[in-house]
Amino acid sequence: MNCGVIVFPGSNCDLDAYHLVRDVLKEEVTYIDYEERSLQGFDVIILPGGFTYGDYLRSGAIAARTPVMEAVNRFACSGGLVLGICNGFQVLTEAGLLPGALCRNDSLQFRCRQVYVRIENNSLPFTNKASTDQVLMMPVAHGDGSYYAPPEVLQDLEANGQVIFRYVDQRGEAVKAANPNGSCENIAGVSNRAGNVVGLMPHPERAGEAVLGSTDGLVIFESLRGYCKGREVLKSG
Amino acid sequence: MADADNLRPEKAPKIWRKLGLKDFEYEMIVEQLGREPNPVELNMYSVMWSEHCSYKHSRSSLKLFPTGGPRVVQGPGENAGVVDIGDGYGAVFKIESHNHPSAIEPYQGAATGVGGILRDIYTMGAQPIAFLNSLRFGPPNNARSRYLIEGVVAGIGGYGNCVGIPTVGGEVYFEPCYRGNPLVNAMCVGVMPLKRLVLGQACGEGNLVVLAGARTGRDGIHGVTFASEELSDQSEEDRPAVQVGDPFLGKILIDATLEAVEKQLVVGVQDLGGAGLTCALTETASRAGTGLEIDLKMVPLREEGLEPFEILTSESQERMLFIVEPEKLEDLEKIFQHWQLPLSVLGQVSAGKMVTVRHHGEVVAEVPAESVAGGAPAYEPESREPEYIGKLSAFDLSALKPAGDPGQYLLSLLSSPDIASKEWAWQQYDYMVRTSTLEGPGGDAAVLRLRETGKALAVTVDGNSRYTYLDPYLGGMLAVAEATRNLSCCGAEPVGITDCLNFGNPEKPEMFWQFRQAVEGMAEACRVLEAPVVGGNVSFYNEVEDEAIYPTPVVGAVGLLENAKNYCKTGFVRNGDLIYLLGPCEVSFGGSQFLKELYGKVAGRPAGIDLEMEKAVQALLRRLIADGLIVSAHDLAEGGLAVALAESCLAGGRGAAVTLASGLDSVLELFGEGPTRVLISLPPEASDRVLDLARKKRVRMSELGRVDGGDSLTVKCGNALAFKLGLDELKKAYEEVFSWIRT
């Protein structure tokens, strides 16, 4: 699996994603500059967390208009796998690659804590190593994580299996108390219609080593790795 | 005071007084300069000779601190201290106050405090890895205090989260004396390969003087002057003296600066903080023994028409000064262009020791660097023991005879704002970014792994101002002892400390006496505990309308763990483990949380400290943890043994049963406070070995009971039940008090 981690001005979880892929998964990984115009040769593109351009206009809004995003768009349109984490999720919604928007947390405060999410669709390249309804413990760390989409869009997302992660309690129930930011329907992460672009607010890259408190995030990267390997086999076969 | 018009030197005679200089200091300037300073030069002197920059009332006392040691690479005097942590790496750290700005504008005051201390760390060439903070407010029972608390916490998070450096620890206390003058002390820790160390020195005649980062505006003009006087009800008008932070610019300035340092494109780096460009120019030249020639027309401005003195004293944030060899300028420019950051050559390093400032070619100031940066007088202020000391220490603690329900005492202590969980604050900080936080906020110290070496750093900040108020000398010792003990509780060896000394007006003999006593106490503890002071900050004039804060020395401490896998936490985690109290049994209600909460008093004598015993207990702890003999360790602090027991139960989610020896005063034993005491838990099979090691070090160990895995904390005194409280009750008391801040 050959991963690219995009570095926008103000990205700050680029190191964490890079470290996880290189040192924990032992896979290929490269930083990609925000001015880069080609993403040839990559299997997976990660848009990491952070505060791109300070999130000064709206979270992710300015980063969505950098040169590299044109390349990400082309990459996604040709079926490439794109994972947006936290601010990366915000960038993907601002770029129109994912539906909906991330609004201010209902607490009006930044929140950093462990949450539980349930995998709602385990048929994607991002989730296919997880079991149905598997519950993962991962941290969130954001101020603008409240997912919003108009009711008709939410209906479509549910109907098409595009809601991928939902905030739940430890037992897997999608209760209000488990929702750290007031997002619609406890949504923590969604995909595009084709299922090759996924964004989520929690940080799977921070849940990849036991010393950090959880290894639950690994299943996402293991799924991607498995999928990419399968594709290699298909190609060579 | 900060109104630009009033600072226009031609507007008033004896303008130096308006600029915060005394007549005598003005005469010294004339003497050192050999002539009367012109108005621009006078402004430069006034900011650099302010208390904030020149340490004129503290310098002679700070010399008492031990600042050397086998690990010290860089002691006080540079932007931050550097300590050798092995494998060619150094830990770089410093703490600094931003009290006055935060009193006026809590969000920006705190945010720029974080931004300022951050720049001090990467200026040395180090990658910042952690923030900590120490905060003091008035009681959180009124709207004003809540406004300050919410603003400060949001500001710390707002800056730290955005730049992507985790805020991993801190402390928050509440006393009426901080109502008008809150304390905001921010600490930053960085790590670097030692060979990459760069200093703030303008070396090499002909090298270029380069200003990078934000454009210069009118914000923060004379901020240091404002920080060097008492606050008053007119202080709100000083809001223009508070700078506004831009954390995004701060973040890319770190990335660009560290890239420039790594590629060896700069020979000197200095951040622009207090006293702005004036400080950066004169300090770099003075440290290197060189001169500088610059033209202010090259400074990128935010708006037209800034006067030379404004450009020279502006404290606009997110700016760096580089000293660059001419042939490397192009490469440096490339880096900054990529990050879309302004960069401008102001001039060059010259022979001689004068800083010559031009404005469009015309010389507007020509001053000896050494005189401006280091020529301020060092005062030996008058010192007198305040009357309250004798009165309060004579308070008869033995007359207290508390006879209430110890369980209720414990619940009210746990729910006091000082002791209650601080999750309401730290859940607003990203404490995990950079994925190196092994132990985040809430324990005795935070632990961060060092990917490069497999080792880890433990970091903490501590200070108990009630102790220091009642006995500044003892309080100073206790602050150093507690900070280093917290590191040892994790298993880390203290390698150095940085201090933030928050006091009142040093020109008042009683205030200076507090300061001097506290410094002497701290210095003594540092000497015995072998913890060198490698940097810090003094904040005087923390007074509002003649009410001074408690003397508040805050100690930031950094410790080294040889093996990142081998550190200790505070919680009880294994059923059947034995619980012991390590250390002496002397405790007192003097200055205790118990006395404050239950009797509304801050009085009496705090328990004294035997520093040699402190050293022995800490060494023993580190040994026990390194050998894997104990499972948890938790320092006994505010609220004494009972609170520590409750905290260890809550941290591990496990109940315990404890029996105190009968015959003692059980309330005192449960809630009295004394230093050098640590609650540990260990597997029964390790107890012989642990007892043996303790005996060899002559450290007292008392068996208390057992982690029983139940859902309550049971404490007996002899055969009598003192209390039995459910973990849910304890948790509720511990977490409920700040629920207002969550809504």
User: Which tens digit of pLDDT belongs to each residue from B372-383?
Assistant: 999 999 999 999
Torsion of CA A159, A164, A166, A168, to 10 degrees: 110
pLDDT over 90 for what percent of chain B? 88
Q: Is the pLDDT of residue B323 over 90?
A: yes
Domain with A76, as residue range(s), is 2-236
**Residue A90 and residue A71: Cα distance in Å, rounded?**
17
In this prediction, residue B62 carries a pLDDT of 96
Task: Say if residues B635 and B617 touch (Cβ distance below 8 Å).
Answer: no
In the predicted model, is pLDDT for residue B405 greater than 90?
Answer: yes
Catalytic residues of B: 52, 98
**Around Cβ B220, how many Cβ atoms within 10 Å?**
26
Q: What integer is the mean pLDDT of B676-697?
A: 97
Q: Are residues A12 and B449, on separate chains, in Cβ contact within 8 Å?
A: no
Q: How far apart are CA B514 and CA B394, in angstroms?
A: 18
**CB B273 within 8 Å of CB B50:** no
- Would you state the pLDDT for residue B662? 65
**How far is the C-alpha of B425 from the C-alpha of B435, rounded, in Å?**
20
Confidence of residue B1 (pLDDT cuts 50, 70, 90): very low
pLDDT of residue B245: 87
In terms of Cβ atoms closer than 10 Å to its own Cβ (0-12, 13-18, 19+), residue B731 is middle
Q: Decide if pLDDT at B498 tops 70.
A: yes
- What is the share, in percent, of chain B residues with pLDDT greater than 70? 95
> What is the distance in angstroms between the Cα of B568 and the nearest Cα belonging to chain A?
13
What are the tens digits of pLDDT across the range A180-216? 999 999 999 999 999 999 999 999 999 999 999 999 9
When comparing pLDDT for B50 and B1, which is higher? B50
| Residues B49, B21 contacting (CB under 8 angstroms) | yes
Q: Is B24 in a helix, a strand, or coil? A: helix
Give pLDDT tens digits for B333-356: 999 999 999 999 999 999 999 999
Average pLDDT rounded to a whole number, residues B582-607: 96
Write down the pLDDT at residue A87: 98
Q: Write the CATH number for A174.
A: 3.40.50.880
Whether the pLDDT of residue A170 is over 90: the answer is: yes
Of B251, B339, B432, the CB nearest to A112: B432
Residue B235: its pLDDT value, please? 66
Q: Is ipTM beyond 0.90?
A: yes
Pick from B163, B338, B428: CB nearest A110: B428
* Per-residue pLDDT at B602: 97
Distance CA A60, CA A37 (A): 19
The band of B237, judged by pLDDT with boundaries at 50, 70 and 90, is low
**What crossing angle do the helices spanning B687-696 and B611-626 adopt, rounded to 10°?**
150
**pLDDT tier, B7 (very low <50, low <70, confident <90, very high otherwise):** low
Chain-centre distance of CA B510, in angstroms? 24
For residue B730, give both structure tokens.
Answer: 């304890």
Kindly report which listed range (B16-20, B25-29, B240-244, B680-684) carries the lowest average pLDDT score: B240-244
Q: How many CA atoms lie within 13 A of A8 on its CB side?
A: 31
How many distinct structural domains can be found in chain A?
A: 1
Work out the minimum CA distance from B437 to partner chain A, whole angstroms: 7
Instruction: Compare B242 and B654 and report the one with higher pLDDT.
Output: B654
What average pLDDT does the segment B175-199 reach?
96
Angle between helices B247-262 and B106-122 (to 10 degrees): 0
Joined together, the tokens standing for residue B548 give 């001074």
Contact B528, B534 (CB under 8 A): no
The closest alpha carbon to A31, from A8, A4, A71, belongs to A4
User: From CA B258, how far away is CA B122, in angstroms rounded?
Assistant: 7
- B435 to A209: CB separation less than 8 angstroms, yes or no: yes
Identify residues of A whose CB sits under 8 angstroms from chain B CBs. Answer: 9-10, 12-13, 15-16, 19-20, 23, 35, 49-51, 53-56, 107, 109-113, 139, 141, 143, 203, 205-206, 208-209, 211-212
Q: What is the pLDDT, as a whole number, of residue B460?
A: 98
The whole-number pLDDT of residue B743 equals 42
Q: Taking Cα atoms as reference points, which of A179, A174, A222 lies closest to residue A202?
A: A179
Q: What was the pLDDT predicted at B740?
A: 67
pLDDT of residue B222: 72
pLDDT digits (tens, 9 = 90+) for B466-487: 999 999 999 999 999 999 999 9
Rounded Cα gap, residues B56 and B259, in angstroms: 36
Biggest distance spanned by C-alpha atoms of chain A: 53
Predicted pLDDT of residue B209: 98
The rounded mean pLDDT for chain B is 93
Residue B22, phi then psi, degrees to nearest 5: -85, 160
Residue B339 with chain A: CB contacts under 8 Å: 9
pLDDT band per the 50, 70, 90 thresholds, residue B5: low
Burial group, residue B147, by CB count within 10 angstroms (0-12, 13-18, 19+): exposed
Evaluate whether B581 touches B677 at the Cβ level (below 8 Å): yes
If we measure between CA atoms, which residue out of B311, B313, B223, B319 comes closest to residue B271?
A: B319
**Residue B399: pLDDT above 70?**
yes
- Mark yes or no for CB contact A54/B429 under 8 Å: no
Residue spans of beta strands (DSSP E) within B583-718 = 632-635, 656-660, 678-682, 701-707, 712-717
| A140 to chain B: closest CA residue | B430
Helix (H) / strand (E) containing B37: none
Which residues make Cβ contacts (< 8 Å) with residue A235, sequence separation at least 6?
none
